[in-house]
Amino acid sequence: MLALIFGRTDLFFDEAQYWVWSRELAFGYFTKPPLIGWIIRGTTEICGNAEWCVRAPSPILYTITSLLVFLTGRALYGVRIGFWSAVVFATLPAASFSSLIISTDVPLLLFWTLALYAWIKLIESGRMGFAVLVGISVGIGLLAKYAAIYFVFCMAIDALSDRRARDALREGRGIVAGAIALALIAPNFIWNATHGFVTFSHTAENAGWKDLPIHLGAALEFLGSQFAVFGPILFAVLIYLASAALRRGCAEPQCRLLAFSVPVILLLMLQALLSRAFANWAAAAYPAATILVTAALLESWPRLFRISLWLHIGAAIVITIGPLVAPNLTAITGPAWNPYARVLGWRELADATGRVAKSEGAKSVLTDNREVTGELLYYLRDETLPISLWFHADVPRNHFEMTHPFRAAAPQPVLYVTLLQSKTSVLKRFDETKLVANGRFPSDNPVRAARFFLLRGYGGDAH
């Protein structure tokens, strides 16, 4: 939290978009289910709209998730394994990085881990209350990210391989859990039905299954990225344990933890092979994998466990310090090599937009990509200038084309902000166009160069 408060990075454009969602509460959004917007709205109502407050849910929710990892590890192995599993999870490279941003993975991991704990307790006790908790956790997890559906897939694998897991679903417990999960995700289904199923369409498009060519390089790249996400030693041990179980079989609770980790990674490797998969897409595999690998290391390779833990603590310190010195890194590495370049310069761009709009008497602002739109909506949130996105396709391709499209009724003159350095089609739609300012801002390419045009006399051909 202190690193967030004193950090010097701007919101990433996805974070800015999530903040915009939090101002427009709904049961769904163009690219994601609604929970991320609801969470941000909750925290910003308490501590305001500064970057640190928008991101504040991440370290809070990761702390709760780590406690749930402890409870799950304790239920399977005892207090010692539960404790160290929680410590390992809290210091995973992915957790250290993700705690400093706001993303849909954060609530997904919380409710995935809660569902895992409830599932284990359901198998142990057979109590209906834990079936209800499984349903609630999966349902809310789906409201965070559709990847929560993997949990059902993992439950099925566990039940196929273990009689106790199958028994846990009998006597109506499985039906109750499923009904509750469906009831919780139903409002999002209804929202999608009334909005042309845009979230489902976007998710399918993101998967990229078209001609289905084989991308062996992408699959290997995804596999390699998991060494950074989970940690090099931990992921190597996970591969060893999975391959040993395949050769010699496994016993509980190892089999159960493998069922809730390895299938997720394999499914995403298949996705990468067919199209693409980002490193964080397998995040749901790692609560179970953390407990599994921690138990194996402490039992068989305690020295390796200590090496891994200290390596991760060192990485966590570096990752946490990074945002505090992000703007200064450009002087050392150059703009093109600053790892924080994508979250620098947006505030300056928005400030310049506000100044130019005021000096030129602009009545509204027009952009031509969603990244700039989201950043301006966030950083100009205290201004009264309407901000819209140029939209000339048949159907919306992103959230802002759906909710903030440019319309003929937009107040003129219009200040057009573009990062494109060639002439754009936007200028052809206005009778009067005048370049009124240029600006250069920190970025990764190697600078973000913007042009500001004052436009009058819109001639049509935009939605």
* pLDDT exceeds cutoff 70 at 211: no
Residue 420 is predicted with a pLDDT of 85
Those residues whose C-beta lies under 8 Å from the C-beta of residue 33, and which sit 6 or more positions away, are 104, 142, 143, 144, 145, 146, 185, 188, 199
For the stretch 158-208, pLDDT in tens is 999 999 999 999 999 999 999 999 999 999 999 999 988 887 776 666 655
Residue 463 is predicted with a pLDDT of 45
Measured distance CA(340)–CA(463) in Å, rounded:
35
* pLDDT exceeds cutoff 70 at 148: yes
Residue 339 is predicted with a pLDDT of 82
In the chain, domain spans:
2-320, 345-458
For the stretch 297-333, pLDDT in tens is 999 999 999 999 999 999 999 999 999 998 888 667 6
Hey, is 292 helix, strand or coil? helix
First-to-final CA distance of the chain = 43
Confidence of residue 127 (pLDDT cuts 50, 70, 90): very high
Residue 292 is predicted with a pLDDT of 98
Mean pLDDT of 367-380: 95
- For residue 405, what is the DSSP state? B
Mean pLDDT of 73-98: 97
Which of 68-82, 300-314, 431-445 is predicted with the least confidence, judged by mean pLDDT? 431-445
* pLDDT exceeds cutoff 80 at 139: yes
**Is residue 391 within 8 Å of residue 441, measured between CB atoms?**
no
Residue 338 is predicted with a pLDDT of 75
